[in-house]
C-alpha cells in the first residue's frame, strides 16, 4: 500500500498544470500509466486515490471556477484558488490520503426565497468546495446508477423539465390528484447517523467516511462565532445535493415498493393518485414513513392533496382540460415584479442600457420557463414588455415638442403626431396608441437586441 501511494504522489503533475488560473486540458495519451491503471481498475477501498487523480481534480477545479460563488470563513476567493493549490496541494493531498484532512466551518448567509421568507445557505471555503466537488464526482459516478428513475434533481442528464413532463404523463393516464409533499427544512434536519449509515453501505474507504462526517459536523460561523452542527447538510456545498439524494433514496424505494406514481426533484416530491380519498390516505401514510424512518417532518401548511392545476411544481403548473404545462401564477408574478424593476423610469438608464439588462434576464428566464406549452402566455408577456418600454420612452421624452419631433422622425404624419403628442392621457394609455406603436415598432426593439420570449416560427 505504501509503495502504491508513493507512485500516486509522484504521478501528480496537477500542480505543474495549474500554472495560471485555468488548468490546461488533458489530451488523450498524456496520462501516466499509474493514473490510467487506477482509472480503469478502481478498487472500492481506494476511493480517495480516485478523488486525488489528476483528471478528476482538474474537472473539479474547472467546475468550482465556473460556479464562482462567495468566499467562505477564510475570505479566499475563487480567483485565488489556483495560487493556493500550487503552494499547498502536496500537503492537502497527503492529509486526504491519510484520512486526516479536516474541513473548516461553513459561513452562514441568508438569501431571500422566491416565495417570500429567507433561505440560509452554508458556504464552505473555496478549498473545501474544491475537495467536495472532486469527491462528489467520484461518488456520483458510483451511486447514481442505483437511484430511482423517478428522481430528477441534481443528477447527470436529468432536469426539472423532465420531471414536469413525467408529472404530465401521469395526469394524461388519469391520475388527476396530486399529493404534494413539502419536507420541512430538509437540508437543515437531515439525521447525520442515518445518512452516514447509507454512505457506509456504499463504500468501505474509511477516509471517505471520515471526510464526509467531518464536513457534516464542521460547524457554522455566523457573526464571528462558530456553532456546532448536530444535523443537516450544508446547503451551498457541492456534496450536499448528492447526500440529499442518498437520504431520499429510501423514500423513493418505499414509494416504488407501494407502486405509487411519483416524481421527485430533490426534496420536492409529488405523488399522483386517482381520487382525493386515496390522496389523503397516501399523505397520512407517507408522512408517517418520513417521520419515523427518515427522522424528518412534513410541513403540513405547505403540503396538500389537490388537483395538479391548483399546485405549483418546480415553477410550473398544468392547464385543466388539455393538461398542458403552463407557468405557475406565482412564477409569473415574480417575473412581472422583476420586469417592473428593470424598466422603471427612475433607473436613469438609456433605452439601450435598459434593453441590454432586460435581455440578459429574459434569456435566462426563457431558458427555463420557455419549456411551457402555452405560447400565448409568452406572447402576452412579450407585448407587455414592449408596452413597458414604450411607456418608458414616452416619459423620457417629457414635453410635447420633443414628443412631436420623435414621432415625426420615426415616420408619423405631422397631424397624427401632433394629436398624440398633445394628448392628455397618461403614459400607460398612450403606450397602446397606434401611432406610438408604429413609431416604436417591434422591429425597432428587435434592432436594439431585445430578446423575445415567444418561440419564433420556423425557429
Mean local confidence (pLDDT), 226-233:
86
Mean local confidence (pLDDT), 356-383:
96
- Judged against a pLDDT cut of 60, whether residue 15 lies above it is answered with no
Of 34-48, 219-233, 284-298, highest mean pLDDT: 284-298
pLDDT of res. 457: 58
pLDDT of res. 400: 93
pLDDT of res. 120: 79
Q: Which residue has the higher pLDDT, 9 or 398?
A: 398
pLDDT of res. 346: 66
- Judged against a pLDDT cut of 70, whether residue 94 lies above it is answered with yes
3-state secondary structure the chain: CHHHHHHHHHHCCHHHHCCCCCCCCCCCCCCCHHHHHHHHCCCHHHHHHHHCCHHHHHHHHHHHHHHCCCCCCCCCCHHHHHHHHHHHHHHHHHHHHHCCCCCCCEEEEEEECCCCCEEEEEECCHHHHHHHHHHHHHHHHHHHHHCCCCECCCCCCCCHHHHHHHHHHHHHCCCCEEEEEEECCHHHHCCHHHHHHHHHCCCCCHHHHHHHHHHHCCCEEECCEEECCCCCCCECECCHHHHHHHHHHHHHHHHHHCCCEEEEECCEEEEEECCHHHHHHHHHHHHHHHHHCCCCCECCCCCEEECHHHCCECCEEECCCCCCEEECHHHHHHHHHHHHHHCCHHHCCCHHHHHHHHHHHHHHHHHHHCCCCCHHHHHHHHHHHHHHHHHHHHHHHCCHHHHHHHHHHCCCCHHHHHHHHCCCCCHHHHCCCHHHHHHCCHHHHHHCCCCCCCCCCCC
- Judged against a pLDDT cut of 60, whether residue 247 lies above it is answered with yes
pLDDT of res. 290: 96
Round the average pLDDT of the chain to a whole number and report it: 88
Global confidence as pTM: 0.83
Percent of the chain with pLDDT over 90: 77
Mean local confidence (pLDDT), 84-89:
96
Task: Indicate the pLDDT class of residue 111, thresholds 50, 70 and 90.
Answer: confident
Question: Over the stretch 409-419, which tens digit does the pLDDT of each residue have?
Answer: 999 999 999 99
Task: Indicate the pLDDT class of residue 345, thresholds 50, 70 and 90.
Answer: confident
Question: Over the stretch 19-41, which tens digit does the pLDDT of each residue have?
Answer: 433 344 444 443 334 333 334 44
Task: Indicate the pLDDT class of residue 46, thresholds 50, 70 and 90.
Answer: confident
- Judged against a pLDDT cut of 60, whether residue 301 lies above it is answered with yes
- Judged against a pLDDT cut of 90, whether residue 213 lies above it is answered with yes
pLDDT of res. 112: 77
Question: Over the stretch 150-166, which tens digit does the pLDDT of each residue have?
Answer: 999 999 999 999 999 99
Amino acid at each position: 500500500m505504501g509503495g502504491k501511494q508513493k507512485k500516486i504522489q509522484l504521478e501528480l503533475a496537477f500542480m505543474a498544470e495549474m500554472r495560471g488560473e485555468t488548468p490546461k486540458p488533458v489530451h488523450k495519451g498524456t496520462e501516466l500509466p499509474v493514473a490510467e491503471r487506477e482509472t480503469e481498475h478502481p478498487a472500492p477501498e481506494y476511493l480517495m486515490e480516485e478523488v486525488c487523480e489528476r483528471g478528476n481534480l482538474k474537472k473539479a477545479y474547472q467546475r468550482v471556477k465556473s460556479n464562482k460563488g462567495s468566499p467562505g470563513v477564510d475570505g479566499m476567493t475563487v480567483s485565488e484558488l489556483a495560487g493556493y493549490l500550487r503552494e499547498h496541494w502536496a500537503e492537502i493531498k497527503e492529509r486526504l490520503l491519510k484520512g486526516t484532512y479536516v474541513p473548516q466551518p461553513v459561513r452562514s448567509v441568508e438569501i431571500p426565497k422566491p416565495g417570500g421568507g429567507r433561505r440560509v445557505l452554508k458556504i464552505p471555503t473555496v478549498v473545501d468546495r474544491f475537495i467536495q466537488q472532486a469527491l462528489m464526482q467520484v461518488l456520483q459516478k458510483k451511486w447514481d446508477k442505483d437511484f430511482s428513475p423517478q428522481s430528477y434533481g441534481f443528477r447527470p442528464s436529468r432536469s426539472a423539465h423532465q420531471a414536469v413532463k413525467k408529472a404530465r404523463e401521469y395526469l394524461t393516464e388519469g391520475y388527476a390528484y396530486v399529493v404534494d409533499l413539502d419536507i420541512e427544512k430538509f437540508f437543515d434536519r437531515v439525521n447525520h447517523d442515518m445518512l452516514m449509515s447509507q454512505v457506509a453501505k456504499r463504500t468501505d474507504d474509511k477516509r471517505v467516511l471520515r471526510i464526509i462526517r467531518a464536513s457534516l459536523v464542521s460547524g457554522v460561523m455566523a457573526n464571528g462565532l462558530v456553532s456546532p452542527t448536530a444535523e443537516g447538510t450544508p446547503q451551498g456545498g457541492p456534496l450536499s445535493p448528492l447526500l440529499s439524494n442518498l437520504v431520499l433514496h429510501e423514500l423513493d424505494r418505499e414509494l416504488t415498493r407501494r407502486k405509487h406514481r411519483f416524481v421527485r426533484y430533490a426534496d420536492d416530491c409529488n405523488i399522483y393518485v386517482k381520487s382525493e380519498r386515496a390522496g389523503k390516505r397516501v399523505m397520512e401514510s407517507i408522512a408517517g414513513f418520513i417521520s419515523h424512518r427518515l427522522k424528518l417532518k412534513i410541513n403540513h401548511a405547505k403540503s396538500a392533496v389537490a388537483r395538479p392545476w391548483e399546485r405549483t411544481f418546480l415553477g410550473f403548473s398544468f392547464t385543466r382540460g388539455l393538461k398542458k404545462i403552463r407557468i405557475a401564477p406565482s412564477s409569473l408574478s415574480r417575473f412581472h415584479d422583476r420586469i417592473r424593476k428593470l424598466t422603471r423610469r427612475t433607473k436613469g438608464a438609456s433605452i439601450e442600457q435598459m434593453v441590454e439588462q432586460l435581455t440578459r434576464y429574459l434569456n435566462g428566464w426563457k431558458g427555463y420557463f420557455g419549456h411551457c406549452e402555452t405560447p400565448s402566455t409568452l406572447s402576452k408577456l412579450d407585448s407587455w414588455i414592449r408596452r413597458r418600454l414604450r411607456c418608458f420612452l414616452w416619459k423620457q421624452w417629457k414635453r410635447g415638442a420633443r414628443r412631436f419631433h420623435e414621432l415625426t422622425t420615426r415616420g408619423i404624419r405631422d397631424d397624427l403626431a401632433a394629436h398624440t403628442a398633445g394628448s392628455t392621457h397618461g403614459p400607460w394609455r398612450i403606450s397602446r396608441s397606434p401611432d406610438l406603436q408604429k413609431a416604436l415598432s417591434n422591429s425597432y426593439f428587435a434592432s436594439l437586441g431585445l430578446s423575445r420570449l415567444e418561440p419564433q416560427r420556423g425557429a
